[in-house]
Structure 1
Amino acid sequence: MDPRQITAILFDKDGTLFDFGATWNAWAKAFLMRLADNDRDRAVALGHVIGFDLQAGVFAPNSFVIAGTPDELVATLAPHCPDLSPKALFALINEEAAAAPMSEAVPLLPLLKQLAAAGLRLGVATNDAEAPAFAHLDAAGVRQNFDFIAGSDSGYGAKPEPGQLLAFCSAVGVEPSRALMVGDSTHDLIAGRAAGMATVAVLTGPANAADLEPFADLVLPDIGHLPGWLGLK
């Protein structure tokens, strides 16, 4: 992989642009307590269903929520929440997600401006829903810095399928072989490989380097190391 050939970068959102633990552990606590009507024992039980330890305040490394979609979360929780319709549960998930306290993995605005100034086209592909993704990027003041933003409900499918990635390449007029997928999960990297893109893993999500290395052309501590690798001034 020659970084000089890269003309477009597609970022995952959670665990890549934003630190996963600082954001989604807080979301899970608030969401589960709300879902359980503040019954802590029930919230603990619901946490076990989705792979979240309410006492410790962390997701299990193999929790499907880490790289999953809201639809998958609805399907898992619906049997345990008979008083809520799937539509109502989906709305509750997205409402709490939009309010999640986002913690930038690195200062995003200067990084994105530097990448754009170098002529790179930029996008976001997340397995979160589109509305919370827009809310999070707006709250960080960086939505306008992306040429393309897709959630799992934007019509392109979800990772690890490559639909979002190919849609990005088409939208910005770049061949996949000259685009880079940057993410913190194997879903991101598998999607990148399937789309024919180069792949860079970052360690600001729950996965460790050993998990990601088989699917990544390069592993970096965080996205702040991209300009150096790309040879930008």
Structure 2
Amino acid sequence: MSATITGIIFDKDGTLFDFHTTWSVWTHDLLQDLARTHDGNAEALARAIEFDLAACRFLPTSPIIAATNREGAEALAAALPGANADDIEEHMRQSSGAAPLRPPVPLDPFLTGLAGRGLKLGVVTNDTDHGARAHLTSAGVLDHFDFVAGYDSGHGAKPAPDPLLAFARQHALDPVQCVMVGDSTHDLRAGRAAGMWTLGVLTGMAGADELASLSDAVLPDIGHIPAWLDR
């Protein structure tokens, strides 16, 4: 590339980890759990968040795919009479760290290679800070990242650019020399608003057509980033 890139920010779910593998089984179990403990109906909860309970899969139109835990908890509480969104959010926070993980590429050598180029690496997710660190620790890659922020880390949530700009400030990087990598329009809108390069990846719910207008490039997965940097 003709531009100098000094930092890369990754979304977590759908980017560092395949979205369905991480969240579909966990969501299925969460809905069954909530229905059981609140004498509710799992199918009604699934409809509220546009989740196919039988197929154990999110519908592409689900409003919580890129949402924060708080937004998801409020949507579920609205479909569960007598339930408290605070309690549901805490249940989600505590259980999310055990969600299964499947990265699209072996993360340790991939991240080691990027750091070897002198790049600062960050994770900005609309998951909780606790969930982000639990997943990165479980995958054995937390120490590869110079910055980790969840929606509750004090920097705000995507699509606002604030957590991305916090990464740049913390490492004295020019945002125009940073890249935001994500699988959703929330990620890419945040990157554009921060004045950063944006890369879409197809390991989440969105297709190439949806991501293209907000991306400098759409890649099959994060494993194609080194080749993009070398263009």
TM-score above 0.5, yes or no: yes
Matches of 1:48 and 1:133 in 2, distance apart? 27
Q: How far apart are residue 96 of structure 1 and its match?
A: 2.2
Residue 33 of structure 1 contacts residue 39 of structure 1 at CA under 8 Å; is this kept in 2? no
Equivalent position of 1:64 in the other structure: 63
Q: How far apart are residue 122 of structure 1 and its match?
A: 0.1
**Contiguous gaps of at least 5 residues in structure 1:** none
Aligned AA (2:20): G
User: Which structure has more helix as a fraction of its residues?
Assistant: 1
Matches of 2:45 and 2:86 in 1, distance apart? 18
Residue 181 of structure 1 contacts residue 192 of structure 1 at CA under 8 Å; is this kept in 2? yes
Q: How far apart are residue 47 of structure 1 and its match?
A: 0.6
Residue 15 of structure 1 contacts residue 206 of structure 1 at CA under 8 Å; is this kept in 2? yes
Q: How far apart are residue 231 of structure 1 and its match?
A: 2.0
Matches of 1:3 and 1:167 in 2, distance apart? 25
Equivalent position of 1:23 in the other structure: 22
For each residue in 1:146-191, what CA deviation from the matched residue of structure 2 results, as whole angstroms up to 9, or x when unmatched?
0000000011111110011000101111100000000000000000
For each residue in 1:54-78, what CA deviation from the matched residue of structure 2 results, as whole angstroms up to 9, or x when unmatched?
0111111111111000111122122
For each residue in 1:35-56, what CA deviation from the matched residue of structure 2 results, as whole angstroms up to 9, or x when unmatched?
1118998112211101101011
Superposition pairs of residues 96-107 of structure 1, within 5 angstroms:
96-107=95-106
Equivalent position of 1:129 in the other structure: 128
Aligned AA (1:22): T
Partner of 1:37: helix, strand, or coil?
Answer: helix
Query: Is 1:36–2:35 an aligned residue pair?
Result: yes
Equivalent position of 1:168 in the other structure: 167
Equivalent position of 2:186 in the other structure: 187
Partner of 1:65: helix, strand, or coil?
Answer: coil
Q: How far apart are residue 97 of structure 1 and its match?
A: 1.3
Q: How far apart are residue 83 of structure 1 and its match?
A: 4.1
Matches of 2:109 and 2:179 in 1, distance apart? 19
Aligned AA (2:85): P
What's the Cα RMSD here?
1.7
Matches of 2:64 and 2:91 in 1, distance apart? 15
Higher mean C-alpha displacement, 135-144 vs 93-102: 93-102
Q: Could you say if the C-alpha distance between residues 60 and 40 of structure 1 is closer, same or farther in structure 2, counting changes exceeding 3 Å?
A: farther
Aligned AA (1:92): H
**Contiguous gaps of at least 5 residues in structure 2:** none
Equivalent position of 2:119 in the other structure: 120
Q: Could you say if the C-alpha distance between residues 230 and 40 of structure 1 is closer, same or farther in structure 2, counting changes exceeding 3 Å?
A: farther
Query: Is 1:14–2:13 an aligned residue pair?
Result: yes
Matches of 2:89 and 2:39 in 1, distance apart? 21
Matches of 1:207 and 1:13 in 2, distance apart? 15
Residue 68 of structure 1 contacts residue 127 of structure 1 at CA under 8 Å; is this kept in 2? yes
Partner of 1:156: helix, strand, or coil?
Answer: coil
Partner of 2:213: helix, strand, or coil?
Answer: helix
Partner of 1:66: helix, strand, or coil?
Answer: coil
